[in-house]
Amino acid sequence: MHRVKLFIPGPTEVREEILEALHRPMIGHRSPEFSDLMDRVLHKLRRALRTDFRIQIHTSSGSGLMEAAIRNFVEKDVLVTVIGAFGERWARIAESNGKNTDVLAVEWGEAITPEQLQDAVKKKHYEAVCITHNETSTGVMNPLKELADAVKDVSPDTLILVDAVSSMFGAPLYFGDWQLDFVLTGSQKALALPPGLAIGVISENAFEKALTVKNRGYYFDLVEMQKYVDERRQTPTTPGISLFYALDAQLDRILEEGMEARWERHRQMAEVAREWARKYFDLFADPDHLSWTVTTVANTRGISVAELNAELHKRGFTISDGYGKLKGKTFRIGHMGDLTPAEVQELLLNIESILGLE
Ligand SMILES: *Cc1c(COP(=O)(O)O)cnc(C)c1O
């Protein structure tokens, strides 16, 4: 098989040794072996994420926990902030679950400002505010701590629900210190695992709220999940056991690298990509709120992204076109997971050579 290295914002490259972990023999999900595995993985996650909040591992993509957030932490009124396609998705999820959904949206390419958000929560009381930490469609990283502060200053009981699918493990994230209440991610982004697992980090306040919410649903009932985890180190339904093996192995690597070093590596990759984009094209996103994990390049030269990608494929690389309405107008370079600045540099040199840039 022709091997193509992924510089797309998910799924990301998975190391060979991690892929090998997927091949281990199957075990029963009600066996002591599985409980040991769950215990080990939770312990390592707690060390890596440095939080005493509850941590849950679900077998689903990231969107599953976006829906879980709405079902478990919102009875009626929710405010969804939208800075791109994944914020729009969260608003649709809230509406389709029958919640009174207000939307605070800004132009694609911009971040929400703390002032805008504070104005919105002053006008009406919300049980929760949904925030995309890193909007993968635009390459914008919201000022999450400032946004959470702006909400809590006015309305301390409003829960802060965070989509950190493309930032957790790739950019600084402090759960309690930043007053966050539910933070979710998926395995196929900065965690550099195959798709299929989602991780949720839950504050005490959020968990207490969930206990009172009706119709939490079945598959994503976070209270039920917690009961299984606390009492037996199991999950209510059959988990993706192979992916737990991979997570176990990957967390060893992450703990070995150190979380700060992992964040710093992502910052350096972003710096390389931004510098290159400024030199040959332009940056699409607000320069004050650039993502650490994906760089959205404004296609100022009007190149064919499809043709560029076809040539890159032959050389063993792939990048992403712009998302949705940004297709053709931008292209995206994903630099997350286990990639290195040198690998990003290598990709960019290949783009230069294909496009004949000087
Ligand atoms: C990828 C992504 C999602 C969706 O995750 P799935 O695992 O595809 O459901 C949600 N939010 C953000 C910010 C993402 O980057």
Number of separate domains in the chain: 2
Which mutation among 67, 165, 191 tests ligand 1's pocket best, with the greatest number of atoms within 8 A of CB? 165
Output the pLDDT for position 137. 97
Q: At 270, is the secondary structure helix, strand, or coil?
A: helix
Distance 102 CA to ligand 1 centre (A): 21
Q: Are residues 250 and 297 in the same domain?
A: no
Select from 256, 288, 309 the last residue of a domain: 256
Give ligand 1 pocket residues (Cβ under 6 A).
10, 61-63, 86, 132, 134, 136, 163, 165-166, 186
- SS (HEC) of 204-258: HHHHHHHHHCCCCCCCCCHHHHHHHHHHHCCCCCCCCHHHHHHHHHHHHHHHHHC
Ligand 1 pocket, mutate which of 189, 292, 336 (most atoms under 8 A from CB): 189
Gap from CA of 190 to ligand 1 centroid (Å): 11
Same domain, 187 and 295: no
For residue 186, the ligand 1 atom closest to its alpha carbon is 7
Same domain, 246 and 303: no
| Co-location of 162 and 85 in the same domain | yes
Q: Kindly state whether residues 204 and 65 are assigned to the same domain.
A: yes
> CA 162, CA 180: separation in Å to the nearest integer?
7
**Which pTM does this prediction carry?**
0.98
Average pLDDT, the chain: 98
Q: Which ligand 1 atom sits nearest the alpha carbon of residue 188?
A: 7
pLDDT surpasses 90 at 314: yes
Q: Is the pLDDT of residue 1 over 90?
A: no
* Signed CA dihedral, 39, 43, 45, 46: sign only: positive
Convert the pLDDT of each residue in 172-223 to its tens digit: 999 999 999 999 999 999 999 999 999 999 999 999 999 999 999 999 999 9
Q: CA gyration radius for the chain?
A: 20
For residues 244 and 248, give the distance between their C-alpha atoms in angstroms, rounded to a whole number: 6
Residues 130 and 39 placed together within one structural domain of the fold: yes
pLDDT computed for residue 100 by the predictor: 98
Split at pLDDT 50, 70, 90, the class of 2 is: confident
| 263 plus 240 within the same structural domain | no
Enumerate the H helices of 25-139 as residue ranges. Answer: 32-49, 62-73, 85-96, 114-123
Nearest CA to ligand 1 atom 5: 62
Please give the Cα distance from 266 to 250 (Å, whole number).
Answer: 17
**Residue 234 domain boundaries:** 16-256
Give tens-digit pLDDT for 34-69: 999 999 999 999 999 999 999 999 999 999 999 999
> Of the residues 256, 288, 312, which one is the last residue of a structural domain?
256
Residue 273 scores a pLDDT above 90:
yes
Shared domain for 82 and 152, answered yes or no, is yes
What phi-psi label fits residue 91: left (phi over 0), alpha (psi between -120 and 50 degrees) or beta? Answer: alpha
Atom of ligand 1 nearest to the CA of 66: 10
pLDDT, tens digit, 9 for 90 and up, residues 101-141:
999 999 999 999 999 999 999 999 999 999 999 999 999 99
From CA 62, how far away is CA 194, in angstroms rounded?
Answer: 12
Q: Domain check: are 295 and 201 in the same one?
A: no
Among 193, 226, 256, the domain boundary falls at 256
pLDDT reading at 358 higher than 90: no
Q: Are residues 237 and 340 in the same domain?
A: no
Backbone angles phi, psi at 295, to 5 degrees: -110, 125
